[in-house]
Homo-oligomer: A and B are copies of this chain.
Amino acid sequence: MESMIDERLSPMELHEAWPALSAEERAEGFRMLPRDQAEDFFVQLETREQRELLLALPNGERRSYARLLPPDDLADIVQETPEEEREALLGLLDPVARKEVQALLAYKEDEAGGLMNPRYVRLRPEMSVDEAIAYLRKRMREPIEMVAYGYVLDNQQRLLGVVSYRSLVTAPPDKRVQDIMHGEPVTVPEEMDQEAVSHLFAKYNLIALPVVDAEGRMKGVVTGDDIVDVVKEEATEDIHKIGAVQALGAPYLQVSLLQMIRKRGGWLAALFLGEMLTATAMGFFEAEIAKAVVLALFIPLIISSGGNSGSQASTLVVRAMALGEVRLREWWRVLMRELPVGLALGGILGAIGLLRILLWQAASHCYGEHYMLVALTVALSLVGVVLWGTVMGSMLPLLLRRLGADPASASAPFVATLVDVTGLIIYFTCAIAVMRGVLL
């Protein structure tokens, strides 16, 4: 295929074309940028794109771009790199950076330690404001995380307090750092899960949080821009799970077809196996269907109503749990809400169903002489099935959490499948109860 890059693109044009380009074309277009524009362009790429671009560059250039990145981003890149290429990538770094990156690699990618930048501004409590500013001026050229705060540490590296640059800039020059610092900073334990870290950010509206170990020693800084990424990532994971897809972990258009089939085929086949129980359940009622074929007409309507109400309930509870609005011990409150809601929703659908059958019957007599029994069966079943779907859908995420699994696995299709079998049983049980001696 001919290269799509036939002329020098501006950074804007390259950015526009980026998603459609192959790795080689990207590197080609990137290398045509003037150095300063290339650096700006590189820094704003996503971690995954930075890695791919780095690996597509010739060795000499690779090194100088790798140095532009802070250790936490470098660690992410190394983590996403296949085992056998990692050493080569680490070899690009100077010894200090390499050591920092290796320390970060000891953390899991989705915990605070794996998100943090180990470079930050350290201040001592007895420094004056002027000394602190002078010290900052000296460290100016180093690539440390200087977003908004300096961190005040004692001799054992324990975090004593936080000083915002704002307060440094605005305080009288002869004040001491310990007099202007915020003495009880919110901290993040190094092994805290990234989702919990994002809750802390949202709660305290801070733009950076210090990460400390069990002894209160400061290990690094997590900044808000990392958290925006985390929040997006976690939401994407949850949304994929709600749709019964294994989390893709990469942009949709960049996942290979084989990967795509694997990430979807697993759940789809599992749901299919579960759904086979419906054929078994139907088998038990084959005689009833043979006697009253009219019953078969409403099967899709009944079971899909259970599935839909279950999807609604599970989606709401899964999201509420992810946002920390509902905790496991509140399952009872959830149940006490969903019971009346399920009953009301079932009642609404039941009434519509009843009306529909009576209207069609009046128009075309299509349901035979016992249409009233059919209508009653459908309406009753709808109440039961929707109530059941609502309760199952709302309790399943809580049950999964209780069992140590991810509540988001209670996907809409999973709940629908669970509810389908029971929906059939509810329907035919209603039918037998209502029609015994008449049609059945």
Contact = CB atoms under 8 A, between A and B. Distances in A.
Interface of A: 19, 43-44, 133, 136-137, 139-140, 146-148, 165-166, 168-171, 198, 201-207, 223-225, 227-229, 231-232, 235-236, 238-240, 242-245, 248, 251-253, 257, 260-261, 264-265, 267-269, 271-273, 275-276, 278-279, 282-283, 286, 289-290, 293-294, 296-301, 303-305, 307-309, 311-312, 314-320, 323, 325-326, 330, 333-334, 337, 340-341, 344-345, 348-349, 352-353, 356, 366, 386, 411-413, 416-417, 420, 424
Contact of A252 (B44, B325, B345, B348): B325
A228 B198 contact: yes
Do most interface residues of chain A lie in helix, strand or loop, or is the interface mixed? helix
B252 A272 contact: no
B412 A252 contact: no
B412 A243 contact: yes
How many copies of this chain does the complex contain?
2
Contacts of A19: 325
A119 to B, nearest CB: 13
A265 B348 contact: yes
B279 A319 contact: no
Nearest to A229: B202
5 contacts: A207-B223, A238-B239, A243-B315, A271-B308, A279-B298
A181 B251 CA distance: 35
A207 B412 contact: no
A316 B146 CA distance: 37
Contacts of A307: 304, 307, 413, 416
Contact of A148 (B140, B148, B168, B303): B148
Contact of A341 (B264, B314, B318): B264
A243 B245 contact: no
Contact of A201 (B146, B225, B330, B344): B225
Contacts of A366: 283
Nearest to A303: B300
A243 B311 contact: yes
A261 B345 contact: yes
A50 B273 CA distance: 49
Contacts of A238: 235, 239
Nearest to A139: B170
Nearest to A424: B300
Contacts of A133: 169
A276 B253 contact: no
Contacts of A316: 240, 243, 245, 248, 252
A87 B298 CA distance: 55
Nearest to A336: B257
Given A198-B228, A228-B201, A340-B257, A315 B169 contact: no
